């Protein structure tokens, strides 16, 4: 059994990481929060050019023709950068699901933006910047949106009203949109967690108390190591879930749920520990840490929280 990514998959992810390091800095993310769009238009165009937005769209519809194994490291890199806006919703579900409809071309080239409303939440994330909202069996356009004041400025919440609704399917690779989003969110949360740990480790190397860097104290080392442990052990299950989802495995739903449960808990642990390592500065608006913490707190609940997903795993493995 081989459990690793291909050289091409690694290189594509590394290319995206480089792009985001320049085009999606904390300054860019803050700008998107502060102008109340939760969106970075110039970055969106670059993601379309690079083929990120159309990774899961078949080649016959102008996309990259990839599957979830090709996409999973991209979701993780997008999370590492804390990319604001409906990138997961657009890339993981709307673009591939609507590829062969009249909306397809504009979603592949990114000239139109799609978001999702596929769960029982009264709120639609990213509605303000979206041209269309995809539901499980319809598309809504021409709606008006009203701000519901989400905690994460990069995942703004709205209630929507009015508009025109047309029939459509939100399935991707035979999976329901909310399951696909659980998988994509798991990878995003892993990337965000890795970034929080990196930022806190850097802080712990610089910040001195008692005449030493705080990272030299065991209490700090152990907080950080435990945070890393949970993230590292969420990775392989998330990559396996991508494989199961791509190959139509009978265990796909169970595997996705396992990934989302583990990644949600890992991200929450990472947010708590890294904030604690920051001390008082971690509780300020000024510290960039909040960009990934708030994203984590939003996504760990979206598309099913850890309890929901753990029980779905339990239903699959405990009963005879």
Binding site for another protein (CB under 8 A): 1-4, 197, 201, 204-205, 212-213, 215-218, 220-222, 224-226, 228-229, 232-237, 239-240, 258, 261-262, 307, 310-311, 313-314, 317-318, 320
Q: Minimum CB separation from another protein for residue 7, in Å?
A: 10
Residue linked to tokens 């806006």: 85
Nearer to another protein, 71 or 263 (CB): 263
Query: What is the distance between the alpha carbons of residues 17 and 81, in angstroms, rounded to a whole number?
Result: 8
> What is the residue whose two structure tokens read 């995809």?
134
Q: Which residue has the tokens 């165009």?
A: 45
Total count of residues recorded for the chain: 320
Closest to another protein by CB, 89 vs 255, is 255
Give the DSSP letter string of 212-234.
Answer: EEGGGSHHHHHHHHHHHHHHHHH
**Rounded to the nearest whole angstrom, what is the least distance from the CB of residue 237 to another protein in the complex?**
5
CB of 198 to another protein, least distance (A): 9
Nearer to another protein, 160 or 186 (CB): 186
121-124, long-range: CB < 8 A, 24+ apart: 121/302, 122/148, 122/159, 123/148, 123/150, 123/157, 123/158, 123/159, 124/157, 124/158, 124/159, 124/160
Least distance from another protein to the Cβ atom of residue 43, Å: 29
Separation between Cα atoms, residue 38 and residue 45, nearest integer Å: 15
Please say which residue, 162 or 211, places its beta carbon nearer to another protein.
211
Q: Based on CB atoms, which residue is closest to another protein, 161 or 225?
A: 225
Minimum distance of another protein from residue 224's CB (angstroms): 5
């Amino acid at each position: 059994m081989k459990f690793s990514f291909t050289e091409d998959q690694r290189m594509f992810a590394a290319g995206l990481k480089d792009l985001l390091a320049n085009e999606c800095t904390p300054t860019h993310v803050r700008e998107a929060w502060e102008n109340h769009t939760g969106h970075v238009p110039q970055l969106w165009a670059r993601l379309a050019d690079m083929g990120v937005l159309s990774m899961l769209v078949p080649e016959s519809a102008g996309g990259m023709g990839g599957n979830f194994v090709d996409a999973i490291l991209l979701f993780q890199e997008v999370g590492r950068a804390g990319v604001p806006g409906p990138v997961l919703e657009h890339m993981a579900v709307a673009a591939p699901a609507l590829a062969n409809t009249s909306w397809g071309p504009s979603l592949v080239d990114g000239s139109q933006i799609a978001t999702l409303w596929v769960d029982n939440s009264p709120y639609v994330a990213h509605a303000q910047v979206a041209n269309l909202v995809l539901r499980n069996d319809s598309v809504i356009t021409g709606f008006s949106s009203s701000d519901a004041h989400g905690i994460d400025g990069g995942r703004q919440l709205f209630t929507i009203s009015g508009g025109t609704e047309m029939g459509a399917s939100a399935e991707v690779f035979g999976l329901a949109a909310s399951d696909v989003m659980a998988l994509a969110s798991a990878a995003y949360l892993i990337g965000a967690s890795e970034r929080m740990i990196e930022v806190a480790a850097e802080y712990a190397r610089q910040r001195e108390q008692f005449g030493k860097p705080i990272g030299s104290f065991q209490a700090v080392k152990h907080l950080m190591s435990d945070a890393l442990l949970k993230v590292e052990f969420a990775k392989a299950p998330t990559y396996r879930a991508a494989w199961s989802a791509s190959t139509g495995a009978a265990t796909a739903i169970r595997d996705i749920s396992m990934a989302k449960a583990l990644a949600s808990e890992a991200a929450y642990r990472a947010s708590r520990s890294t904030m604690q390592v920051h001390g008082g500065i971690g509780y300020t608006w000024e510290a960039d840490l909040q960009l990934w913490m708030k994203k984590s707190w939003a996504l760990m609940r979206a598309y099913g929280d850890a309890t929901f997903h753990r029980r779905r795993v339990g239903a699959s493995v405990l009963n005879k």
